Amino acid sequence: DTGVSQDPRHKITKRGQNVTFRCDPISEHNRLYWYRQTLGQGPEFLTYFQNEAQLEKSRLLSDRFSAERPKGSFSTLEIQRTEQGDSAMYLCASSFRAQDTEAFFGQGTRLTVV
Amino acid sequence: GQQLNQSPQSMFIQEGEDVSMNCTSSSIFNTWLWYKQEPGEGPVLLIALYKAGELTSNGRLTAQFGITRKDSFLNISASIPSDVGIYFCAGQTSGTYKYIFGTGTRLKVLA
């Protein structure tokens, strides 16, 4: 297993378009997280799943954002009607349900809205 | 969104020097993680801490879980040029599995 995989690595889109990102977690990990990171800031929590259940969502996740993890494996994050303020790095992380949890990140998807 | 306070914000040090940085919160945390991030890449996990007072090392890196459970410290000994990057702390409170990240400490090492 090569770790958390995100696709695409880079996405440039026009304002108003919809975009979808994919995350494949480490295979035995049942928790999956989405974070957003803007320049000069630390990652900000968006949402997380335990298996297929979305257990927590941040207020940062507006109505234009939706995340799914239909079979408890890979996850998708969709942004509808993109705005310039959506430009950021979108990071996915996964962890294994246990008493001690360590979250491992993918390389991220860099979104630029023009 | 909520972020933890990290200090210093940035450091310029000479190769071979030791580095110390910390992370503080107004809330109690059950877990502290330290990450390093390089430009255009995702954060890479360095050290995980699970108990108050715990001291854990990973090569030249040593991190401590503060006794009050509201802070954590990371030390890097004998810095080398490849230590350059942004170091983030992340904490997890009880009742949730999300991690809250710090504002980051940008480290630059001068050869």
Q: List Cβ neighbours of B82 (8 Å cut-off, separation of 6 or more).
A: none
| A25 vs A6: CA distance, rounded Å | 9
> Per residue in A53-92, pLDDT tens?
999 999 888 899 999 999 889 999 999 999 999 999 999 9
Residue of A nearest to B89 (CA): A42
Q: Show residues of chain B in contact with A56, CB under 8 Å.
A: 96-98
DSSP H helices in chain B: none
Q: Is A56 on the interface with B (CB under 8 A)?
A: yes
- Based on its alpha-carbon atoms, the radius of gyration of chain B, rounded to whole angstroms, reads 13
pLDDT at B111: 81
Residue A1 has what pLDDT?
Answer: 54
The pLDDT value recorded for residue B28 is 93
* pLDDT surpasses 60 at A44: yes
Distance CA A21, CA A91 (A): 10
Residue of A101, A107, A109, A112 to mutate, testing the B interface (most B Cβ within 10 Å of its Cβ): A101
pLDDT in tens, chain B (111 residues): 677 999 999 999 999 999 999 999 999 999 999 999 999 999 999 999 999 999 999 999 999 999 999 999 999 999 999 999 999 999 998 888 899 999 999 999 988
Tell if the CB–CB gap between B1 and A58 is shorter than 8 Å.
Answer: yes
- A106 in Cβ contact with A92 (< 8 Å): yes
Under DSSP, is residue A58 helix (H, G, I), strand (E, B) or coil? coil
Q: Which residue has the tokens 């030791």?
A: B18
Amino acid identity of B79? S
